[in-house]
Each structure stands twice: as C-alpha cells, then as structure tokens.
C-alpha cells in the first residue's frame, strides 16, 4: 500500500496494519504527522485482536476463492497485500487474464491474434487448441481462395466461349455465382473481395444483372473502393459503343502511306488501343495537326473510335470488332517541324489470329467466316499488296496465362506469325515489328523490368522468332521493340477513365519512325 492509500484508512485500519507489521512507525509518522493522532493509533494497535482479523481475512478469502471473480480477487489483494493467500489470488488473476485473452483470440478467428496468444502464454493449456485453430483458419482461407479462383476461371471461361449466345453466357455466369453463394461455398464478402481484386472480372451488363437479383448493391461496389463515376455510369446502364456504320469489305489499301497492322487474339485490346491512338493524334499534344483521309474504307469507323476516347471523363469503350471485319484508317499527321507523316492503321477482328493459327497447324475445318478473313488478308497483304512501308504491332494481352483448357495466347500468336511468315508478308518493305503489351494497368508493378520479365517468362520463343524475322528481312537492325500500353483506369470491362499517355507515346513513335514528307513539296524521303 502506498502512502496515499494509507492516508485514506481509518485509525483502526491503520492500527490493524501496524499490529500485523504491514507498516512501521516511520510510515505511520508520514500518514499521521500529528503526534497525538499517531499515539492514538499506536495504543489502538496494542489492543487489536489479530486472531479476529485473521478470521476475517480467511472468511473473505473463502468467499473470493469460491466466486473467483476478477474484481473481488483484485479487491482482496488490495486489502490483504501480505496475505498468505495473495500469491494464489495473483495466480487466479493471471489465469483470469489468460482466459480473457484466449477468449478474445479464439473469437477473433484471426491467425495473427492466435499467434500472439501462443507467444504470450507458451505454457497455456490452450496452446494446442490455438495451434489447431490456426491450421483450420489457414485451411479455410486456402479453400476459400481455391473456390474464388475456380469461380473467376468459370466466369472467364463463359466470357471467352464464342460458341455460347449472350443469354447462355449471362445465365452461366449468374448460376456459377449464385450456386456458390447459396451453398455457402463462398460468402457475399468473398465475392466482393474478388470484384475488388479485379474490377474487370465482370462486364457492366453482368454487374447490373447481379444488382437486379439483389446479389450485390451499388453501395457494395462503392464500399470496395470503385470510383463512384463508374457506378453512376453503371446505374444509367451505359452499354459498350457499337459501330453501326455500313461495312464495305476491304480489297486493297489504296493510299500511299506507312501501313500499320495490329495483330492479336480476340479481346486483346487492339481496337481500344487504336481508338486511343487516334484520340491522342487528334489532341494536339504530340502532333501539331491531323488530316483524316476521308477516302479510307474505315473512315466512319475511324471517327467512331476517335470520338469514344475522350480524356478526363468516364467513357464507355468500344464493342468487339465484328468477325471478318478489316478496317483501314488513313490520316496525315503534321509534326512539330511541319513535316507530314502519312499513316494507315489497320484493325482486324481477333478471330483472324485463330484462323491463321488453324491454317498453320492445318487443324480443323475453315468456316465461311475464316475463308472471308483469309481472303481479305491475302488481297491486302499478298495479291493487292502495296509498295508502301509497313509496320506490325503484335498485341499481347497482359496476364491471361493461367487460363486452363484453352489454347494459349502464345500458341495462337506463334501459329499466326508462322503462317504470316510463310506468306512472306514481312519481306522488302517492313520498317519495324513491335510487341505491344496491352492492359498493362493489370500488372502489379508497371515497370520496364516487369514487362521485360513478362515477355521472357511467357513469350520468349515468340519474341525470338520475331527477332529472327527482323534479322532475315533486315528490319530495324534485327531488333523487335516492346512497349507496354494501357487505356488508364478500366472498370467493369466497358468503362474507362482514359489516360492518354500510352497512346501519346505510340503517336510519338509513329512520328519518329515513319517517313516524313515536307509540307508543300509532296516529296517522300527514304528512311
């Protein structure tokens, strides 16, 4: 007991402490500085019945021990700090604390908190239970992760399955989610964590379907950190922007310019990249001005793509390019030195790559659509081939290597490239071959090292083959250049907060790498 506590004791209580030897005369002098009062306490102490005090202490202890309540144990220690039962009382208090910590750790269902309990109470009888709880939680987390991965792969499978109708895709995805939720294989929070991890897991339409059947709410999406502007767009049911202009099949490229071809599997981001490039070319940030070639077969499509990509606002992206369609989009870029660069971008449906792969592997029957696409390709790059300079962008969609049971992007790209090589399309007039990694925003670290490493890990053979094509055809000193490309922040697959920086870099590359015609002279300078 410290002095302050002793001051609050009555004279009799002080006399008892003195009789028991818990305080000495010096301490008493501090508590009762008045000699008369002190004397009174000393006389009282001589008359204290210690046996009676002892009996009182034992009676209290019997009750406290039986009740085993924390506050009673603490009060006992306060009142009888030197009791022979004090050690036992302190032990009981420690056990109380241990139990309380154990209860909190157990109820927390948290590996970290259970581990802290084990560290703090290594000899506790609950350590074994804590360890098995940790294992159980880790197992549960693994199973949960496994089920979530499985769901993500099922969703992706439905979305990529070109044999299904839109309704079948919608029902398939809805059932895959609801079945797991209804059988408690995953919780709503689990599902939301999947959406949080990948904002592009589902497209805007599918998210709206799930909102309509009350699986999720717009508020849930806001809670997982999705920008309200995307949610606003969603609630207005904004759909991808279809191009509904008339389509005239492409026979040849009838305009002397550097032809830039974009090769890539379906949904790899070709049309979006081209739209973003067109928008950046029009912005005035890189090129001084741009004059579109209104005689281009894809003139209407070019205007549509350019108009979609408006910076600093949430836009609805373009819908997939219709099978068999080839669009040729010509324009003249005027650079800062007033030199003109005549460029034609060629957008092709991704199915063409699968068809080229089929041809290379001599696998499966060609459909009518395949024959149409091959026919156009043959006209544009073989029989009606121009003598214009050419560049090729091989588009690689970032981060889709873990898809199982599907032909990989690498296989398609290599097959298609082999077939293109056999058609001799890289000969004579090719100035550059690029690898463009699209959807680069999906990478954990958007660094040059990350993307170099990505190509090394997943596309090494393809990259080397392209280098060999460059060597064989004396293209760009045998070098294939790679660039990472992103539209900015893409959400629900169909909406985007467009950041033009990647596209501006491509426009700058096009200006740097295409022949320039001096304004007014109409003359081409060879590279």
Ligand X SMILES: Nc1nc2c(ncn2[C@@H]2O[C@H](COP(=O)(O)OP(=O)(O)OP(=O)(O)O)[C@@H](O)[C@H]2O)c(=O)[nH]1
Which residues of this protein are in contact with ligand X, per CB under 6 A? 200, 264, 266-272, 317-318, 320-321, 349-350, 438-439, 441-442, 486-487, 490, 493-494
Instruction: Single out the residue of 203, 268, 271, 430 in contact with Mg ion (rule: CB under 5 A).
Output: 271
Q: Is 494 a residue that touches Mg ion (CB under 5 A)?
A: no
- List own/partner pairs for 457-466 with CB under 8 A and 24 or more apart: 458/401, 458/410, 459/396, 459/410, 459/413, 459/435, 461/410, 461/414, 462/394, 462/410, 462/413, 462/414, 462/417, 463/435, 465/414, 465/417, 465/418, 466/394, 466/417, 466/433, 466/435
Q: Taking CB under 5 A as the criterion, which residues in 309-348 touch Mg ion?
A: 321
**Minimum CB–partner distance for residue 237 and Mg ion (Å):** 23
**Minimum CB–partner distance for residue 241 and ligand X (Å):** 10
Length of the chain: 527
Stretch of 200-208, 264-272, 377-385, 421-429 lying at the interface with Mg ion (CB under 5 A): 264-272
**C-beta closer to ligand X: residue 40 or 442:** 442
**Minimum CB–partner distance for residue 267 and Mg ion (Å):** 8
How many positions of this chain bind Mg ion (CB under 5 A)? 3
Task: Map residue 503 onto helix, strand or coil.
Answer: helix
Task: Map residue 491 onto helix, strand or coil.
Answer: strand
**C-beta closer to ligand X: residue 277 or 470:** 277
Q: 28: part of which helix (H) or strand (E)?
A: helix 25-31
**Minimum CB–partner distance for residue 417 and ligand X (Å):** 16
Q: Which residue is nearest to ligand X (CB)?
A: 350
Helices and strands, counts by H and E, the chain: 22, 11
Which of ligand X, Mg ion, none sits in contact with 486, Cβ below 5 to 8 A by type?
ligand X
**C-beta closer to ligand X: residue 19 or 318:** 318
**Minimum CB–partner distance for residue 322 and Mg ion (Å):** 9
**C-beta closer to ligand X: residue 250 or 272:** 272
**C-beta closer to ligand X: residue 250 or 490:** 490
**Minimum CB–partner distance for residue 469 and ligand X (Å):** 22
User: Which of 282, 307, 237 is closest to 495 using CA atoms?
Assistant: 237
Give 52: exposed, middle or buried? Use CB within 10 Å, 0-12, 13-18, 19+: exposed
Angle, to 10 degrees, between the axis of helix 86-108 and the axis of helix 111-120? 160
Residue identified by tokens 């002397």 is 256
Which residues make up the interface to Mg ion (CB under 5 A)?
A: 270-271, 321
């Amino acid at each position: 007991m410290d002095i302050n506590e002793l001051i609050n004791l009555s004279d009799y209580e002080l006399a008892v402490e003195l009789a028991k030897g818990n305080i000495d005369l010096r301490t008493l002098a501090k508590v009762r500085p008045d000699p008369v009062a002190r004397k009174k306490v000393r006389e009282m102490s001589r008359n204290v019945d210690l046996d009676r005090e002892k009996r009182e202490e034992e009676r209290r202890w019997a009750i406290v021990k039986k009740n085993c309540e924390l506050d009673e144990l603490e009060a006992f220690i306060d009142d009888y700090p030197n009791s022979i039962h004090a050690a036992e009382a302190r032990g009981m208090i420690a056990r109380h604390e241990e139990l309380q910590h154990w209860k909190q750790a157990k109820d927390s269902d948290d590996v970290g908190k259970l581990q802290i309990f084990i560290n703090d109470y290594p000899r506790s009888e609950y350590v074994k239970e804590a360890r098995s709880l940790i294992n159980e939680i880790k197992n549960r987390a693994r199973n949960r992760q496994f089920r979530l991965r499985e769901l993500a792969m099922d969703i992706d499978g439905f979305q990529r399955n070109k044999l299904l109708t839109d309704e079948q895709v919608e029902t398939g995805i809805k059932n895959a989610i609801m079945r797991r939720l209804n059988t408690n294989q995953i919780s709503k929070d689990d599902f939301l964590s999947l959406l949080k991890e990948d904002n592009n897991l589902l497209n805007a339409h599918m998210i709206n379907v799930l909102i309509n059947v009350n699986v999720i709410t717009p508020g849930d999406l806001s809670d997982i950190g999705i920008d309200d502007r995307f949610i606003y767009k969603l609630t207005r049911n904004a759909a991808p922007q279809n191009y509904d202009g008339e389509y005239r099949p492409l026979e040849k490229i009838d305009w002397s310019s550097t032809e830039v071809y974009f090769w890539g599997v379906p949904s790899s981001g070709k049309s979006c990249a081209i739209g973003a490039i067109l928008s950046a070319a029009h912005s005035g940030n890189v090129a001084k001005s741009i004059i579109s070639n209104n005689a281009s077969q894809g003139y209407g499509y070019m205007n549509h793509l350019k108009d979609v990509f408006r910076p600093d606002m949430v836009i609805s992206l373009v819908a997939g390019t219709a099978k068999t369609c080839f669009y040729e989009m010509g324009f003249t870029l005027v650079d800062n030195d007033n030199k003109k660069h005549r460029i034609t971008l060629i957008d092709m449906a991704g199915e063409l790559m699968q068809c080229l792969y089929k041809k290379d592997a001599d696998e499966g029957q060609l459909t009518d659509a395949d024959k149409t696409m091959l026919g156009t390709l043959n006209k544009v790059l073989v029989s009606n081939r121009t003598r214009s300079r050419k560049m090729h962008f091989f588009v690689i969609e970032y981060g889709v290597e873990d898809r199982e049971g599907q032909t990989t992007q690498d296989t398609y790209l290599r097959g298609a490239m082999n077939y293109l090589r056999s058609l001799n399309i890289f000969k004579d007039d090719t100035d550059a071959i690029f690898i463009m990694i699209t959807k680069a925003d999906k990478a954990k670290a958007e660094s040059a090292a990350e993307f170099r490493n990505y190509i090394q890990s997943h596309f090494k053979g393809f990259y080397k083959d392209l280098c060999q094509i460059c060597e064989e055809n004396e293209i760009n000193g045998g070098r294939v250049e790679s660039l990472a490309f992103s539209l900015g922040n893409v959400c629900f697959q169909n909406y985007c907060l467009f950041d033009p920086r990647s596209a501006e870099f491509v426009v700058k590359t096009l200006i740097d790498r295409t022949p320039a015609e001096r304004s007014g002279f109409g003359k081409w300078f060879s590279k």
